[in-house]
Amino acid sequence: MGEHRMGRFRVWTPLLFSLILIIGMTLGFNLRDTLRNKRDIQAVIERNDRLEEMIDLINAKYVDSVNSNNLYSDAITGILSKLDPHTVYIPADQLESVNEDLEGGFFGIGVEFSIIRDTIQVTSVIENGPAEHAGVGIGDQLIKVNDSVVAGKQISSDKIMKLLKGKQHTKVFVTLRQPIAGTSRQIPIERDIVPVFSVEAGIMLDTATGFIKINRFSATTYEEFSKALKKLKAQGMKQLILDLRDNPGGYLDDATMIADELLDDNKLIVYTKGRHTQRMEYKADRHGMFEKGKLAVLVDESSASASEILAGAIQDWDRGVIIGRRTFGKGLVQEQYELEDGAALRLTIARYYTPSGRSIQRSFAKGKQAYEDDFTQRFENGELTGRDSFAQADTTHYYTSKHRLVYGGGGINPDIYVPYDTARLSAAFLNMIYSEELKDVLWDYFIRHRDSLKFSSVKDYDRKFAGEAALIDSYLASLKEGNRTAAQKMLKDTGHYQYFRLQIRAQLARLLFRDNGYYYINSQKDNVVLQALDVLNNGSYSRVVGG
């Protein structure tokens, strides 16, 4: 019996020793990793202590007084300067304003205003917002916020916003003046959520063509887009122009959800991967509202990040035509990490890749300054003004679903190139269009003629309004003699005169019909929109997308 047990022990002994060895090795590796982590943590502490020690020495011994916070910020800036251009440090006092645009709202009273001749004029009141419920109207002048006088002196828009914002359901007392009657009143307004809209316009340009303008991708963009798309379809939309020009990007999820409304059959929209992050794929996984029908996507050199992801997916699947100029070229994924002092680090953790495998990130190997000067370089080499030189700058070939050649490594190159209109959009001419004098003249006209500016729609306004000549005369009369002579000379050119006249109509339409009014009128002379309409309405669309 004993021999039998001893034999069984001999049989199991090697296995037992092996098991003990494995357990020992595992414990050893875990202990090594634990100690390594402790050493790493200790190293971090030591490095931080060195930074603290240096700043303490500077504060104690330096010949002049210094700001410790600035020293910390400069140290952080120095560290991040060795990384990519989109890894950034956001100080605590700037974090709230940085996040507001992306979150889609803030707590305030719900008005838009313009500072005209040192007076804050209410130019728009958010529908069903706190100000509307309190009786604030367009044209009211803001004189005081609580005890702070904000009229009759130089004041910035930022300062007014800080006075009007606050915690939800807190009250702010505003003193308003009615300019025509000359009466004043003080009213309490309870602050509440004020939306920051990212879909600027959703309108029908003609009986078949819808137009949606997205200025960024915030937490509410998909919801806004869906609402606009449903409205346009109900009005008979058969084809869509999606304007992503000057859109710097934002939340990836909202961009991919919009792509899902345009793509079918479980198609890949984008994927991300990085050294410490596994490949993550985003696919169209539900029935979209506009999977069929002609689609044109407008882009330019300021379309970045999420805009490029959406445009790249549309292009790679030959779902629509990309029109405009090469996009910015930002294909890096950032994740925001909150820091203990209330600041944040927006750290690049991965890269974006379009369905064909393109990385849209342009090179930053020559440093941040060269990276930031890219627009100037594009302008100087003629790419923005008349020559599509992207193919010569990047020879990496990729192919769309229908085997059309596309390029990677520097933004999304449009299928149809439309140059920057330098003749019409010269600096001197733009200064006239967006001058304080023209803004004042238009506002005065709007206030004086509000009762007669009654139109059933922006199309009705477009047909009937005929006050541009009088407005141009008022504008010229408001200028100093030297500026008036230069403006008159500029407007002798027929093209300049017609475009200036159109901009007057468009800016007045914005006061009457908000952004929908502006974009409807402005589209009549927008070369990129006109090109899109031409492509959608003739046989070139199917030739471009390979249909």
How far is residue 510's CA from residue 531's CA, in Å, rounded to a whole number?
24
For residue 316, indicate whether it is catalytic: yes
pLDDT (tens, 9 = 90+) of the chain, 547 residues, equals 444 444 444 444 444 445 444 444 444 444 444 434 444 444 444 555 677 788 888 888 888 888 888 888 888 888 888 899 999 999 888 888 777 767 777 899 999 998 888 889 999 898 888 999 999 999 999 999 998 888 766 778 888 888 999 999 999 999 999 887 889 999 999 999 988 899 999 999 999 999 999 999 999 999 999 999 999 999 999 999 999 999 999 999 999 999 999 999 899 999 999 989 899 999 999 999 999 999 999 999 999 999 999 999 999 999 999 999 999 999 999 998 988 888 899 999 999 999 999 998 988 888 888 888 888 888 777 888 876 555 445 567 899 999 999 988 789 999 999 998 877 778 889 999 999 999 999 999 999 998 899 999 999 999 999 999 999 999 999 999 999 999 999 999 999 999 999 999 999 999 999 999 999 999 999 999 999 999 999 889 999 997 6
pTM summary value: 0.84
Residue 322 near residue 311 (C-beta atoms within 8 A): yes
pLDDT of residue 8: 42
328 contacts: CB under 8 Å, gap ≥ 6: 248, 301, 302, 303, 304, 305, 308, 362, 411
Residues paired with residue 144 on neighbouring β-strands, in sequence order: 149, 175
283 assigned to active site: no
Catalytic residue among 267, 300, 330, 394: 330
Q: How far is CA 497 from CA 26, 429, 484, 491, in A?
A: 81, 10, 14, 5
368 is catalytic: no
pLDDT score of 390? 53
- For CATH 3.90.226.10, the residue range(s) in the chain are 200-420
The residues that bridge with 125 in the sheet, in sequence order, are: 111
Contact 435, 479 (CB under 8 A): no
Residue in 218, 303, 305, 307 annotated catalytic: 305
**CATH of range 200-420; options 3.30.1330.10, 3.90.226.10, 3.40.630.30, 3.30.70.270:** 3.90.226.10
Backbone angles phi, psi at 125, to 5 degrees: -120, 125
> Check: CATH 2.30.42.10 for 105-195?
yes
Q: Is 69 helix (H, G, I), strand (E, B) or coil?
A: helix
Which residue intervals of the chain bear CATH 2.30.42.10?
105-195
- Give me the pLDDT at residue 464, please: 96
pLDDT of residue 167: 92
Catalytic residue among 192, 254, 260, 316: 316
